[in-house]
Structures are given as structure tokens and as C-alpha cells.
Amino acid sequence: MWGSNFVVIEVALRHLPPLALAALRFTLAFLPAALFLKRPKVPWRDLAAYGVLIGAGQFGLLYIAMNGRISPGLASLVVQIQIPFTIAMAMRLSGERIAPFQLCALAVALVGIGVIAAHVGGDNTPLGLVLVILAAACWAGGNIVARRSSVANMLAYVVWASLFSAPPLIVLSLIFEGWPTIAAGIASANATTWAAVAWQSVGNTLFGYAAWGWLLARHPAATVTPVALLVPVFGIAASAWFLGEPLPAWKLVAGALVLGGLALNLAWPLIAAWRAARPAA
């Protein structure tokens, strides 16, 4: 669902300006669901932090980047830099030190990002790359907030956090996009556009982030976040299949490096634990 959503975003952006699209997404995630779900018993500051980081931060920046500045397939790949960001933040808060293998894994992933940076041009711009990396950092911050909250009903958590996502996006949209552009986008939107908005609000936000936050609240961040490695697999495949995004050799190499580095971060401790257990066995 998350991987295919990058294609859905591209479809919605054909009519709606990016910040207005993000505002619609989180407005529909909040209403009408908030009428049926009680606010979770967590501090308002946690809901506000999560809502601003995921809404205005992650998706506001991501939508701006995908509005002609980076292709959907590459966006789905680069945003997975949130994995080392999340682990680093979690370790920083817990007082743990970053292990040498984690630095090695990050270096491999960054080489992949470097390959992408070396091939900017056309629909992949330096600004788009930077915006997606910043979006990944905001996603990582939201992960840490969700993990700290440890609520049982993550669906209600995501719904009520959306209360803090929509207002800043609406204000930013009015300031930078302007009401005439917003009105023209809404007027030109067709049934496919609104289906794309609904997919993002219900499927991607309510289901996807509720399930993701539920996992983060119950398992170590280093265990959960690598599952997001599947997102670019579906994202790149869906973009190539539905949008005809080309897959030259450099994209495949960059994808292998990024995913390989992130996978190394997960696999190394498992391999080390297996090797340590062999003598005892």
C-alpha cells in the first residue's frame, strides 16, 4: 500500500497543488473518523508533534518534491533513509553508541544516494533529492514520537494527530500556492483524483500509519523500520508499470546500494547472534 501510493500521489498532483493535496489528505483522515474514535490518552504535545512531523513535515515536503522535482520511483527509494535516521534517533535517546557495522551500512546507503545525486536532471533535481531526505528525517522523528507514546489504539492516535497536520498545511498552501491555484485545482479534479485522495487518507494514512505505529509501539525500532525496505520495491515497480518510469542501469545500481546498506543494518546483528550461538549449540 505504501509503495503503490507514490504512483497515486503522482496521479493526484496532476490536478491538485502539493500542499493543498496534503491538507486534503489529513483533513479527510481526521473527519469523519474523529466522530467515532475517542482521543487516545496521550499528551496533546505528542499528538501535535506526530501530526506536524508526519503531516506538514514528511508529506508536505514529499509532495512538493514529487511535484516535478523527483520521480515517484526514486522518491520511494530515497525516503527510506528514514531507517538509519530512526535508528540513530532511538539510539541517541537511549544513550547507546552507534556500532561500526551501522556506520558501514549507512555509508553503503549513502553511496547509493550519491549515485542518484550524480544523475540529477530532468524530473530528478537536486532540490527534489534534498526535500525527500528532509521528509525522511521528519518521518524518523514521527516514528520516535509514536514509539514513545506506546498507545494501544494507534488508529485513534493517527486520526487525532491529523488534527495537527491539516491546519499548518492549509495555512502554508494559502500562503505559497494561493487560493486561486487551490480553487482551480479542485475544480479540475476528476473522479480519479478524488479516488487518489481517498486512497491516501484511508488506506495510506489510517491503515498504513496506524499499523506502522502499532508495531513501533511494541517492538524495537531497529526491528520494525527495516520492513520499510519493501516500500521502494513496490514503489519502483508500480512507477515503472503504471507510469512508464524508465529503469536505467544507474537506478538499479543506486537502488541495490541503498537497499543493500539498509538491509546490512538489519542482517549484521542477526548474523553475529547466529555465529555467537553456534559454539553453544
pTM score of the predicted model? 0.84
**What pLDDT was estimated at residue 139?**
92
CA distances from 255 to 2, 8, 188, 200, 248 (A): 17, 21, 35, 25, 11
**What pLDDT was estimated at residue 115?**
86
**What pLDDT was estimated at residue 281?**
53
Q: How far, in Å, CA of 205 to CA of 187, rounded?
A: 24
Q: How far, in Å, CA of 117 to CA of 115, rounded?
A: 5
> Which stretches does DSSP call E strand in 134-184?
none
**What pLDDT was estimated at residue 280?**
57
pLDDT in tens, the chain (281 residues): 888 899 999 999 999 999 999 999 999 999 888 998 899 989 999 999 999 999 989 999 999 999 999 989 889 888 988 878 887 888 787 776 777 887 888 888 888 888 888 887 777 899 999 999 999 999 999 989 988 877 767 888 989 999 999 999 999 999 999 999 999 999 999 999 999 999 988 888 888 878 887 887 777 766 776 677 788 888 888 888 888 888 888 888 988 888 888 788 777 877 777 777 776 55
**What pLDDT was estimated at residue 181?**
95
Q: How far, in Å, CA of 222 to CA of 144, rounded?
A: 11
DSSP 64-118: HHHTTTS-HHHHHHHGGGHHHHHHHHHHHHHTPPPPHHHHHHHHHHHHHHHHHHT
Decide: 78 and 113 in contact? Cβ < 8 Å: yes
* Residue 239, all three cell numbers: 512507477
